[in-house]
């Protein structure tokens, strides 16, 4: 059933809720406020807030699946699982790893993109590395970090058949300027991260076309009032910024400050989730690293954070709690802004012509139904 008529929803429209109707045909929103002229199946959404499906531009896995090692089938399975948390489209993040492992991961992702399953739509690949600062490799193994290598980038995008949509890189490494220009020419969006860039280097990167910052505050040079670094530039310039709103990766006060400066148009919630997401505490891995998850926090042996166990529905509720803002005010951070950053004209909003990616939420913030391109997700 990817055609239906929705009655009585509190429908998200431009940062407020409106009681109206919604018509979906063949997985696409065709009308708002119309009658059910074609006698489509009717869904009564009384008492539900209906909001755009979440777009997660940064995930390393969940439910026992690690995206550096996942098969195409596991990626499809994950699409179903993520949809149950309201994610209706996403990028699979391949973390910095050996070249052969990266090639394998890209290959499997391409299969899953080109022969998709049901559930959350895999939009493409986010390559997190390998062109990072050795100083801020964080969870990744330093030995896999590479100097700027245009040929390698070209190779990755060739085997990805153009499906690498974004790449996290450090703009201060030697040769980064040419690498960035090449990446952009190959259709890859640049997000600054795992980086020691100064304020000036970050501003220069912005002007060269790098318009996002990966998990702001994490794995980067800190803020100093005489050298504001990436943090300062990210807040000063119109960068899209990712935040991991799990209460662990950043202090709530930091999230509030970022929200104040970046909402409504440039804040992006991401999960940065790893394979233990949705599973109990225990021993897991993140890419090539062994990690331990305790109290939902994923850490390496040295105690440093290694991915999160966050889901997008939880991230949105946490952000509401941290900022004391309303659902309607924060929805752009869970969908619209990521769509803008990724250049998706058919996702991230509820309007005619958009994919029918819809999340139903009750008054308490619990998800009751999720639709991906008009198809109800049942994980």
As to burial, measured by CB atoms within 10 angstroms (0-12 exposed, 13-18 middle, 19+ buried), residue 364 is exposed
Q: Which is nearer to Zn ion, 128 or 246 (CB)?
A: 128
| Residue number with CB closer to Zn ion (191 or 323) | 191
Choice from 56, 74, 272, 357 touching Zn ion (CB under 5 A): 272
**Torsion over CA: 76, 82, 87, 91 (sign):** negative
Of 272, 313, 355, 357, which is the active-site residue? 272
Shortest distance (Å) from residue 275 CB to Zn ion: 12
| Residue 272 designated active-site | yes
Q: Residue holding tokens 């997985």?
A: 27
Number of residues that bind Zn ion (CB under 5 A): 2
Question: What does the longest C-alpha to C-alpha distance in the chain come to?
Answer: 64
Q: Which window, 171-179, 223-231, 242-250, 269-277, contacts Zn ion (CB under 5 A)?
A: 269-277
Measure the CA–CA gap between 16 and 76, rounded to whole angstroms. Answer: 33
What minimum distance in Å lies between the beta carbon of 60 and Zn ion?
6
Residue 242 within binding range of Zn ion, rule CB under 5 A = no
**Of 84-113, which residues contact Zn ion (CB under 5 A)?**
none
Least Cβ distance, residue 194 to Zn ion (angstroms): 9
Q: What are the CA-CA distances from residue 328 to residues 122, 133, 219, 243, 324 (Å)?
A: 26, 38, 31, 18, 12
Shortest distance in whole angstroms from residue 215 CB to Zn ion:
7
Element (H, E) at 271: none
The C-alpha torsion from 334 through 192 and 194 to 95, rounded to 10°, is: 60
Q: Which is nearer to Zn ion, 246 or 272 (CB)?
A: 272
Quick one: 212 or 358, whose CB is closer to Zn ion? 212
* Residue 26 contacts residue 237 (beta carbons within 8 Å): no
> Could you tell me if 272 and 309 are in contact, meaning their C-beta atoms sit under 8 angstroms apart?
no
Neighbours of 199 (CB within 10 A): 21
Report the residue number, 274 or 331, with the smaller CB distance to Zn ion: 274
Report which DSSP code applies to 144.
G
- 48 CA to centre of own chain: 25
CB-nearer residue toward Zn ion: 139 or 323: 139
Q: Using the rule CB under 5 A, give the single segment among 22-30, 159-167, 272-280, 296-304 that binds Zn ion.
A: 272-280
- Residue carrying structure tokens 């559930």: 119
Q: Contact region for Zn ion (CB under 5 A) — 71-79, 113-121, 205-213, 270-278?
A: 270-278
B/e letters for 46-57, b = 16+ CB within 10 Å, e = fewer, are eebbbbbbbbbb
Window 108-137: contact mask with Zn ion (x via CB under 5 A):
--------------------x---------
- Find the binding residues for Zn ion in span 17-46 (CB under 5 A): none
Taking the complex as a whole, how short is the minimal distance between the CB of residue 46 and Zn ion, in angstroms? Answer: 39
Kindly list the residues in this chain that would bind Zn ion in the complex (CB under 5 A): 128, 272
Active site residues: 272
């Amino acid at each position: 059933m990817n055609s239906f008529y929705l009655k009585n929803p509190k429908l998200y429209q431009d940062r407020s809720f409106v009681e109206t109707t919604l018509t979906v045909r063949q997985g696409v929103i065709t009308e708002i406020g119309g009658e059910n002229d074609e006698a489509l199946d009717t869904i009564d959404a009384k008492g539900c807030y209906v909001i755009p499906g979440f777009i997660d531009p940064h995930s390393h896995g969940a439910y026992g699946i690690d995206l550096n090692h996942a098969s195409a089938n596991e990626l499809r399975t994950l699409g179903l699982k993520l949809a149950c948390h309201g994610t209706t489209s996403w990028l699979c993040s391949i973390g910095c790893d050996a070249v052969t492992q990266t090639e394998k991961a890209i290959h499997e992702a391409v299969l899953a993109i080109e022969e998709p399953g049901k559930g959350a739509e895999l939009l493409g690949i986010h390559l997190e590395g390998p062109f990072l600062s050795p100083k801020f490799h964080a969870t990744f193994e330093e030995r896999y970090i590479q100097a700027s290598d245009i040929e390698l980038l070209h190779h990755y995008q060739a085997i990805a058949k153009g499906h690498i949509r974004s790449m996290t890189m450090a703009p201060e490494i030697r040769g980064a300027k040419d690498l960035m220009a090449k990446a952009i020419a190959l259709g890859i969006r640049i997000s600054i991260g795992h980086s020691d860039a100064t304020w000036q280097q970050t501003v220069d990167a912005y002007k060269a076309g790098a318009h996002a910052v990966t998990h702001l505050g994490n794995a980067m040079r800190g803020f100093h009032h005489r050298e504001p670094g990436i943090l300062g530039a990210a807040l000063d310039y119109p960068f899209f910024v990712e935040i991991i709103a799990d209460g662990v990766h950043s202090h709530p006060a930091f999230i509030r400050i970022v929200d104040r400066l970046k909402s409504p148009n440039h804040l992006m919630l991401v999960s940065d989730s790893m394979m233990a997401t949705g599973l109990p505490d225990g021993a897991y891995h993140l890419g090539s690293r062994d990690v331990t998850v305790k109290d939902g926090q994923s850490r390496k042996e040295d105690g440093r954070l290694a991915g999160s166990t966050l889901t997008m529905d939880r991230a949105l509720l946490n952000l509401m709690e941290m900022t004391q803002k309303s659902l309607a005010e924060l929805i752009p951070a869970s969908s619209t802004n990521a769509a803008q950053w990724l250049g998706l004209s058919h996702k991230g909003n509820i309007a005619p012509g958009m994919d029918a990616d819809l999340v139903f939420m009750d008054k308490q913030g619990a998800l009751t139904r999720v639709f991906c391109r008009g198809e109800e997700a049942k994980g």
